[in-house]
Amino acid sequence: MIALDITINGTEYGEGEEITAVTVVAEYVGGRRGDRVSVHGQSSDGRLQWLDAHLSIGDEIRVRIVETSSASSSIPEACSFCGREAREVAKLVTGTKVGICDDCTKRFAASVKSGAALPIGASIQDDPQQACGFCGEDGSAVGGVIVRNGAAICGQCIRTCEELTEE
């Protein structure tokens, strides 16, 4: 069986994973008043993996076909924020380092949009040492990240994950 390795701007995403579909979406986002290019990968078991959404003109995406026998899975199999496994949630969006379930996505989005209380153990940090586990931007550069159980996510990535879990 074959799979796909994806490299974005020289950084390998999903190397050796059983990614069987890649979607690149270029769209205008009214709330951001600008364009967004995002890349998603889907594994043979149907899990959706969010790879990047902060791409712009001149960025490079490379897709290489590989055999899965050389693959070793490192995609998170559970929500990094609440700890629930993929089989325990309706949807799990995973990046290369962290995963977030649909429930945490909804709760974090509600907090960002309307100021609702964060789940117990979650906090907002704008520390430059704390980076978003999806896009890699540090907390001070993106106006803060929500942190829980050592995992962090920025507001833009929450919005992207919310869109993915609504599909």
Question: Domain-by-domain residue ranges, the chain?
Answer: 1-75, 102-167
pLDDT attached to residue 102 = 95
Task: Read off the pLDDT of residues 37-75 as tens digits, 9 standing for 90 and up.
Answer: 888 887 767 776 767 777 888 888 888 887 765 444 567
Nearest to 95 by CA among 19, 10, 1, 9: 19
Q: Is the dihedral of CA 11, 63, 77, 135 positive or negative?
A: positive
pLDDT for 71 equals: 44
C-alpha 38/C-alpha 137 separation (Å) is 15
Q: Note whether 66 and 4 are within 8 A (CB).
A: yes
pLDDT at 68: 64
**Lowest-pLDDT choice from 29-38, 95-104, 150-159:** 29-38
The two structure tokens encoding residue 141 = 């550069």
